[in-house]
C-alpha cells in the first residue's frame, strides 16, 4: 500500500514536472522581455507621415526598453499588408505594429481582409493625433475656401484630387471633402504621400488633403495654395491658418490618429511592458518637440493605454465603416 502510494506520487511529479518547468520558463521569458531588439512595423513608406511618427517614438522607446526598436517599412494595400504580417507574427512582443485610421476603415474597404482589427491584436496604446491640411497647386485660381467650393462646383469634371492610395487618410479626407461640397471629383491615387505631394507641387494635380507631418514645410515655404486645417480649432504649428470650418465648411473635421498593436496572444506582462515604454517615450522632451514641430499632438495619458486604444478603434470603426459602405468605396 505504501509502495503504491509512493509510485502514485512519483507519477504525479513525472507528469507535472514538465508542465511546471514550462510555466516557469514562460514566466522567466516574460520577465526578461525584451532580451533582443523589437521590430516596429510601419505600413507605409520611409519618410511618410506615419513613418516620421514611428521613428521618433521608436528612438524614445528604445531608451526605456534597453533594446533597439527597429523600424521596418512593409508597404502595400493601404496598410493591410503590414497589419496582416503582424497579426500572423509570433505573439512574443518582438514584432509590433504602428498604424493610423486605416485600422478602423480596412474592413469596409477590403472584401477579403485576412485579419480582424478588433479581434486579432492586443493593444498597447495611442500615440499622437495629426491634423490634415487641404492644399491646391500653386497656380490654382481660388485663393480661399469659399472660392474653392464655388470653383469645384463649376469645374467638377476638370478638378483632380490626389491621394496616397486606397485606405490612405488622404483618400478618406478627400471623400469627406467631396461629401461636404456635394461634388464627385476626379480622384487620382498614388503609391504613397510622397508621390502625391510631388505631383501637387509639380502642378500635375489640383488638390490634395494630407497630414501636417508632410505638408507643413511646403505650406511655410508658400509652395502651394493652402486652404485650411481639418481640426475644429486652429493649431499651434499654424496659428494664423484658418480651419476649413471657418472657411464655411461646417462640420468638416478629421484628424489622423496613431496606435501601437501586438499580435493576439501576446502575454499581458509583455504588452504592459510595451505600454510603459510607449508612455515613457511620449514623455521624452525630444519626442514632444519633434511631434510638436510637425503639428502633431501627443494624446492624453489615458489614451496611451490598451483600453484607450481599443475603445477609440471601436468608436472609429463604428463611425467610418457604415459611411464607407454607403459610398461603396472598396476593392477586392
pLDDT digits (tens, 9 = 90+) for 286-310: 999 988 888 889 999 999 999 999 9
* Alpha-helical regions (H) of 90-136: 102-109
- Annotated domain spans of the chain: 37-130+255-327, 131-229
pLDDT at 47: 84
> Would you place residue 168 in the very low, low, confident or very high pLDDT band (cuts 50, 70, 90)?
confident
> Would you place residue 194 in the very low, low, confident or very high pLDDT band (cuts 50, 70, 90)?
confident
pLDDT at 3: 45
The topology under which CATH files domain 131-229 is D-Maltodextrin-Binding Protein; domain 2 (3.40.190)
**Per-residue pLDDT at 330 exceeds 90:** no
Q: Strands, E, within the chain: which ranges?
A: 38-42, 69-73, 95-99, 121-136, 160-163, 186-189, 207-211, 225-229, 255-263, 297-298
- Cis before 34? omega within 30: yes
Per residue in 215-228, pLDDT tens?
999 999 999 999 99
* pLDDT mean across residues, the chain: 88
Per residue in 80-89, pLDDT tens?
999 999 999 9
Whether the CB-CB separation of 244 and 229 falls below 8 Å is answered with yes
pLDDT at 30: 59
Average pLDDT rounded to a whole number, residues 256-262 = 96
pLDDT at 237: 87
**Per-residue pLDDT at 184 exceeds 60:** yes
Tell me whether domains 37-130+255-327 and 131-229 share a fold: yes
3 state DSSP class of 20: helix
Whole-number percent of the chain with pLDDT over 70: 89
Per residue in 125-145, pLDDT tens?
999 999 999 999 999 999 999
Per residue in 2-44, pLDDT tens?
444 444 444 444 444 444 444 444 455 556 899 999 999 999 8
3 state DSSP class of 236: coil
CATH of 37-130+255-327, one of 3.40.50.150, 3.40.190.150, 3.90.78.10, 2.40.50.140: 3.40.190.150
Strand partners, 163: 189
Whether the CB-CB separation of 149 and 249 falls below 8 Å is answered with yes
**Per-residue pLDDT at 55 exceeds 80:** yes
C-alpha cell at 86: 503582424
Per residue in 201-217, pLDDT tens?
999 999 999 999 889 99
* Cα end-to-end distance, the chain, whole Å: 70
**Which of 251 and 159 is assigned the larger pLDDT?**
159
d(CA 59, CA 62): 5
Amino acid at each position: 500500500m505504501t509502495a503504491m502510494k509512493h509510485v502514485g506520487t512519483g507519477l504525479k511529479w513525472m507528469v507535472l514536472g514538465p508542465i511546471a518547468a514550462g510555466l516557469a520558463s514562460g514566466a522567466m521569458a516574460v520577465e526578461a522581455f525584451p532580451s533582443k531588439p523589437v521590430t516596429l512595423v510601419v505600413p507605409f513608406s520611409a519618410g511618410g507621415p506615419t513613418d516620421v511618427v514611428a521613428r521618433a517614438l521608436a528612438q524614445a522607446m528604445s531608451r526605456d526598453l534597453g533594446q533597439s526598436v527597429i523600424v521596418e517599412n512593409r508597404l502595400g494595400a493601404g496598410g493591410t499588408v503590414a497589419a496582416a504580417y503582424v497579426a500572423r507574427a509570433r505573439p512574443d512582443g518582438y514584432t509590433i505594429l504602428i498604424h493610423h485610421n486605416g485600422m478602423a476603415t480596412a474592413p469596409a474597404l477590403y472584401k477579403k481582409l485576412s485579419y480582424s482589427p478588433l479581434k486579432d491584436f492586443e493593444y498597447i496604446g495611442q500615440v499622437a493625433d495629426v491634423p490634415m491640411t487641404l492644399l491646391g497647386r500653386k497656380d490654382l485660381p481660388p485663393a480661399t475656401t469659399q472660392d474653392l467650393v464655388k470653383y469645384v462646383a463649376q469645374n467638377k469634371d476638370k478638378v483632380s484630387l490626389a491621394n496616397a492610395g486606397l485606405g490612405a487618410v488622404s483618400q478618406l479626407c478627400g471623400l469627406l471633402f467631396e461629401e461636404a461640397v456635394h461634388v464627385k471629383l476626379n480622384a487620382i491615387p498614388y503609391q504613397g504621400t510622397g508621390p502625391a505631394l510631388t505631383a501637387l507641387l509639380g502642378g500635375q494635380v489640383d488638390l490634395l488633403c494630407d497630414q501636417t507631418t508632410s505638408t507643413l514645410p511646403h505650406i511655410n515655404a508658400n509652395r502651394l495654395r493652402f486652404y485650411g486645417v481639418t481640426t475644429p480649432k486652429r493649431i499651434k504649428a499654424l496659428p494664423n491658418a484658418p480651419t476649413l470650418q471657418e472657411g464655411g465648411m461646417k462640420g468638416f473635421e478629421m484628424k489622423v490618429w496613431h496606435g501601437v498593436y501586438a499580435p493576439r496572444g501576446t502575454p499581458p506582462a509583455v504588452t504592459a511592458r510595451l505600454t510603459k515604454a510607449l508612455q515613457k517615450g511620449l514623455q521624452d522632451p525630444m519626442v514632444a518637440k519633434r511631434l510638436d514641430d510637425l503639428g502633431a499632438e501627443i494624446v492624453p495619458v489615458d489614451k496611451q493605454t490598451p483600453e484607450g486604444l481599443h475603445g477609440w478603434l471601436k468608436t472609429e470603426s463604428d463611425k467610418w465603416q457604415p459611411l464607407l459602405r454607403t459610398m461603396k468605396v472598396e476593392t477586392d
